[in-house]
Amino acid sequence: MPFPDIDPIIFQIGPFALRWYALAYIAGLIGGWYYLLSLASSAPIPQPQNKDEISPLDDLLIWVTLGTILGGRLGYVVFYNPEFYLAHPGQILAVWEGGMSFHGGFLGVTIAAYVYARKQGINPLSLGDLLGATAPIGLFFGRIANFINSELWGRPTEFSLGVVFPNGGPLPRHPSQLYEACLEGLILFVVLAYLCRRTNALQKPGLIMGIFIAGYGLSRMIIEQFFREPDAHIGYFIGGTTTGFWLSVPMLMAGLFFVYLATRIKAENQNG
């Protein structure tokens, strides 16, 4: 299947260029923000009693944005290419040249959300539930942008959905970005949306957050093990595993722990 002819730059005026990748971040953050607000009333988070009262979530978008960008960039620097950036420290802040890590962004948002929750008197687990429910929106748009940028492509394949990427050599490759958009984005979003809208999952602090973390970790491990090709300067580890695979293992374990904790605490409260 030929690679679609989509310019990564939407439009350019002089030195300013709007890229699909930047638009994906904007859509993910703003779209996720409005979706989060629509779920907030179902979670045990204080709500404004009148229109003049300030919501404890009003400034959350700023904190999440900073956590995403700073954490994502520093995560890429530390996890994927530390040697290069140690030799070229001036390039660390050159985000416009590419290079973001989900795992770094996840850590950045986690730290930002925890500090924000403590400042606002919100249960960090309940805030984590809202963020976990909305994160797949950003993941979906981000992976679509990765595909448009012809980056993070998969391993060579004879599968009918294989794509010949313009910078990936002559062989068709798995469009692993689209696989991730489906698993980490669309499917995970639908599962979490059902739990939030149709069950009382948001009343069990940490449950939705745990399902998201575990679901992402498992999805990423599958993609990394069977479809995605690692960065050329890193390569494979034992058993054909990758850096992304091993960074996702603790996410799966942590997510399952939070699910167990949320269900156990709820059961103990009911029995008590």
Amino acid at 105: G
Long-range contacts of 110-113 (CB under 8 A, 24+ apart): 110/67, 111/67, 111/71, 112/63, 112/64, 112/66, 112/67, 112/71, 113/60, 113/63, 113/64, 113/67
Q: Phi and psi dihedrals of 59, rounded to 5? A: -100, 5
Q: Please check whether residue 212 is in contact with residue 188, taking contact to mean a CB–CB distance below 8 angstroms.
A: yes
Q: Please check whether residue 220 is in contact with residue 248, taking contact to mean a CB–CB distance below 8 angstroms.
A: yes
Q: Which residues of 155-183 are buried (b: 16+ CB within 10 A; e: fewer)?
A: eebeeeebbebeebeeebbbbbbbbbbeb
Distance CA 136, CA 188 (A): 6
Binding residues: 143
Give kind and range of the element (H or E) at residue 18.
strand 16-19
